[in-house]
Chain A
Amino acid sequence: MTALTEPLAATATSSGRARRVALNPKILAGLAILALFALLTVAQPLLEATVWDGKANIYDPRFGFDTTIAHPSAPSATHWLGTSSLGRDVFSMLTYATRPTFLVALTAGSSIAALSLIFGSIAAYRRGWVDGFLSHLSDAMVLLPAMLAVFILGISRPNAEFGALHVGFTFGVIYGFGPAVATVRAAAMTVVAKPFMDAARVAGGGGGWIVTRHILPHLYAHAAVQAMIGATGAVIADAFLSFRSAVGEDVGFGMMVYDGIIWSSLMAGIAPVPWWIMVAGAGGITLLAAAFYLVGVGLREALDPRTRGVLR
């Protein structure tokens, strides 16, 4: 997580920007939530090695089933967040589903950052027809919602065939060529117009040197904003895939919400609504998505030099 703020700190023209990033309440809140989920990811193997040791038949997130009670059961001492309608332990599912969700966000975020940096800087540096083509392409890709593309490719296919990496990559490529390239290109345009670009050319710098040494460093932060906001969408898209088409042993946040909704509609008026499983699933999605979103929005605020005066 610190890696996200590093490029920003490295390129800060003054310590002011680094301070604004470090003090932004949105970024801090987002990083705190991310740290919590990182802990949850680590908790799964730790718990399996200690508290749940030898009880895989009860606590396994995919096949566990507690034969001593009726399911779904409300939170209790033995099942901290209750159990699902299939008898799986909700806390175990929650920790288990966090890992692939991080993977989705990481894949989407890194492909968005890479694409927007490469094509944004090339468009701004080369201008002319290259820029014309790339900006028209990104205008067109903005019209193609990345989430829908993920649904078209992923609905009714099991995780083994269309898993976290596929979701993240599909989302990342389409979002990356669309809104991300559009934004980063716009930022690169203002960099290219600055006088130090002429100085770099006069000094005899080649294209590769100018792009990597003089343009890219100013774009890392903008690409990070896009990567974070894109990761938000990728997390929600992945959750909806899991909601619509989790089959067999697939475990995901969306599928937990589905489990609760389907149970409460089947048992309407007979059994109480199993809020614990829905809140665990939907809360996991929203908190994780909000964490990426907050970091992204906070970075954008910290980047805007005009917010300096009102920072509190």
Chain B
Amino acid sequence: MIQTADRARPPRLPWFVAFLAKRLVWALVTLVIFLTAVFFFMQVWVPYSWATQFMVGGSSAFEAAREAAGLDRPLVEQYADFVLGLARGDLGTSFRGFPVADAMTDALPITLTVFIAGSVIGWVVGELLGRLGSWNRGRFSGAAISVAGVLSATIFPPFLVFLLVRWLRQPLLDAREAMGLPTDSLNLWRGALIGEAGAPTQGDVRWLVALGLSAALVVGLVVRSYGRRHQLALVEGLAIPAMLLGVGLGIWLSGLGAHAIDLLYRVEVAATTGRGTPALALFGIALISFGQVMLLMRAGMEAEGSEDYVLTGRAKGLTERAVRDRHVARNVMAPVLAGSFLTFPTVLAGMIIVEYELEMQGLSSVLFDAIEFQDIPVIMGVMVVLGLIGIGFRLVTDVTIASLDPRQRRGSA
């Protein structure tokens, strides 16, 4: 009966403080190794440099160009400059004269909007289809889902883009006419660019949309998993749509109205051919990314289906749906998240091709232009940004896995 102060344990930090600290140290070390790998890949493996185009002009022009770009210095010195510059947030200067960071801030909001929204849609669809497909194996629908998943993982992205543009672009534009959206939507930002005082600039609006959308999707996913855990079907089903609606409403109320929706249809005032619209890109990226998740989910579900607790659940009279969604699917989640990180680079490359082929003026255009111009600092900048996105994605998946599965909370890799 001596329940007193000496038995009370000191207040402990929540598990995720220690966990996050460990993962952040891991991320930092990985980042340094990644930067080193990128630098030496670009400097040693890539055979060209800005200066090679002056080779025909004779060795003096070549040497002058090398010197002007700082390429004649020892490799170690260039490496130190690169890393120290990054530590200050400076991505270096393009061979074409502009700061690399500027190109990134111009391109990132488009890429983030399309990639994050597209891959979240792809994830949700893939998870759902994987869940359904594993329980329908042997039936036609199960086989059809399998074929769709393999196609999604192996289709040639430029061909997919061609099909999308050919079959979906006109219906989308017609829908926009039917909704009565303004056809000169970008006049708003154009006016702002001329210098109307106090108006948001085009870049501001894009960042607003990108960040608002990402935040809404993250909150939506958390609320959705909360709803699923507490068996609130309504909360689970409505979480993501409600969040998206909230972002739309917020942008509408901020006075941008129909113009914001029209952003889904147009990107650039000076877009050359106007092949792509963000709506198409979202669709294409969702199609490219759902297959890997679906196949991982399905394989996991099928492996888990032979466990004893499935039999127990059925024996005590649970519905098939309850066994599938509330018991098996939850156990599969952690390995699927971990596996999706390893397929991330392949999916990312597919998304970049889709974005480029739709001429979205995002990160992919910056990258492929830089490759044409042999603009090594810009190429390195893009790789660094993609690496940072990847590390961020990994941290988010690690924290999610740890919150799903207490065994993973010790923080070892």
Asked if B61 is an interface residue, CB under 8 A from chain A, the answer is: no
Contacts of A144 in B (CB 8 A): 34, 37-38, 41, 345, 383, 387
Q: A33 → chain B, closest Cβ, in Å?
A: 11
Q: B349 touching A148 by the CB < 8 A rule?
A: yes
Asked if B53 is an interface residue, CB under 8 A from chain A, the answer is: no
Asked if B77 is an interface residue, CB under 8 A from chain A, the answer is: no
Asked if B390 is an interface residue, CB under 8 A from chain A, the answer is: yes
Q: B342 touching A142 by the CB < 8 A rule?
A: yes
Q: A289 touching B154 by the CB < 8 A rule?
A: yes
Beta-carbon nearest neighbor of A292 in chain B:
B154
Q: A306 touching B30 by the CB < 8 A rule?
A: no
Contacts of A309 in B (CB 8 A): 305-306
Beta-carbon nearest neighbor of A237 in chain B:
B349
Of B122-130, B212-220, B249-257, B296-304, the one contacting chain A is B296-304
B107-165 residues with Cβ-Cβ distance < 8 A to A are 137-138, 150-151, 153-159, 162
Q: A307 touching B387 by the CB < 8 A rule?
A: no
Q: A156 touching B372 by the CB < 8 A rule?
A: yes
Q: B158 touching A308 by the CB < 8 A rule?
A: no
Name the residue in B47, B162, B299, B307 with the highest tally of chain A Cβ atoms < 10 Å from its Cβ.
Answer: B162
Q: A145 touching B154 by the CB < 8 A rule?
A: no
Contacts of B307 in A (CB 8 A): 306
Asked if A114 is an interface residue, CB under 8 A from chain B, the answer is: no
Asked if A140 is an interface residue, CB under 8 A from chain B, the answer is: yes
Q: A145 touching B349 by the CB < 8 A rule?
A: yes
Q: B156 touching A145 by the CB < 8 A rule?
A: no
Beta-carbon nearest neighbor of B305 in chain A:
A310
Contacts of B366 in A (CB 8 A): none
Q: A182 touching B342 by the CB < 8 A rule?
A: yes
Asked if A179 is an interface residue, CB under 8 A from chain B, the answer is: yes
Q: B260 → chain A, closest Cβ, in Å?
A: 31
Q: A294 touching B158 by the CB < 8 A rule?
A: no
Beta-carbon nearest neighbor of B344 in chain A:
A142
Of A9-17, A119-127, A131-139, A214-222, the one contacting chain B is A131-139
A139 CA to B25 CA, complexed, in Å: 13
Of A48-56, A69-77, A278-286, the one contacting chain B is A278-286
Q: B159 → chain A, closest Cβ, in Å?
A: 4
Of A96-104, A199-207, A297-305, the one contacting chain B is A297-305
A91 CA to B341 CA, complexed, in Å: 39
Q: A278 touching B33 by the CB < 8 A rule?
A: no
Asked if B336 is an interface residue, CB under 8 A from chain A, the answer is: no
Q: B34 touching A143 by the CB < 8 A rule?
A: yes
Q: A50 → chain B, closest Cβ, in Å?
A: 32
Contacts of A240 in B (CB 8 A): 156-158, 353
Q: B156 touching A143 by the CB < 8 A rule?
A: no
Residue count of chain A within 8 Å CB distance of chain B: 56
Beta-carbon nearest neighbor of B338 in chain A:
A186
A170 CA to B41 CA, complexed, in Å: 11
A281 CA to B155 CA, complexed, in Å: 11
Q: A297 touching B30 by the CB < 8 A rule?
A: no
Contacts of B33 in A (CB 8 A): 136-137, 139-140
Q: A142-B344, A290-B151, A306-B306 are in contact. Are A155 and B372 (CB under 8 A)?
A: yes
Asked if B348 is an interface residue, CB under 8 A from chain A, the answer is: yes
A149 CA to B82 CA, complexed, in Å: 19
Contacts of A156 in B (CB 8 A): 371-372
Contacts of A149 in B (CB 8 A): 41
Q: A280 → chain B, closest Cβ, in Å?
A: 11
Beta-carbon nearest neighbor of B346 in chain A:
A233
Beta-carbon nearest neighbor of A279 in chain B:
B159
A153 CA to B45 CA, complexed, in Å: 8
Q: A243 touching B158 by the CB < 8 A rule?
A: yes
Asked if B282 is an interface residue, CB under 8 A from chain A, the answer is: no
Q: A312 touching B41 by the CB < 8 A rule?
A: no
Asked if A146 is an interface residue, CB under 8 A from chain B, the answer is: yes
Given A140-B30, A156-B372, 20 other A-B residues pairs in contact with their CB atoms under 8 A: A140-B37, A143-B345, A144-B37, A146-B349, A148-B383, A151-B371, A152-B371, A178-B345, A179-B345, A183-B342, A232-B154, A236-B156, A239-B156, A240-B156, A258-B158, A281-B159, A282-B155, A289-B154, A290-B154, A301-B299
Shortest 10 CB-CB contacts between residues of A and residues of B: A309-B306, A147-B349, A145-B345, A282-B159, A140-B34, A289-B154, A140-B33, A143-B390, A306-B303, A179-B342
A-B contact pairs, 27 of them (CB 8 A): A137-B33, A139-B394, A142-B344, A143-B387, A144-B387, A145-B345, A145-B348, A146-B346, A152-B42, A152-B371, A153-B45, A155-B368, A155-B371, A155-B372, A179-B342, A232-B153, A233-B346, A236-B156, A240-B158, A285-B154, A293-B154, A294-B150, A297-B295, A301-B303, A307-B299, A307-B306, A310-B302
Which of A's residues lie within 8 Å of B, judged by CB? 135-137, 139-149, 151-153, 155-156, 170, 178-179, 182-183, 232-233, 236-237, 239-240, 243, 253-254, 257-258, 261, 273, 278, 281-282, 285-286, 289-290, 293-294, 297, 300-301, 304, 306-310, 312
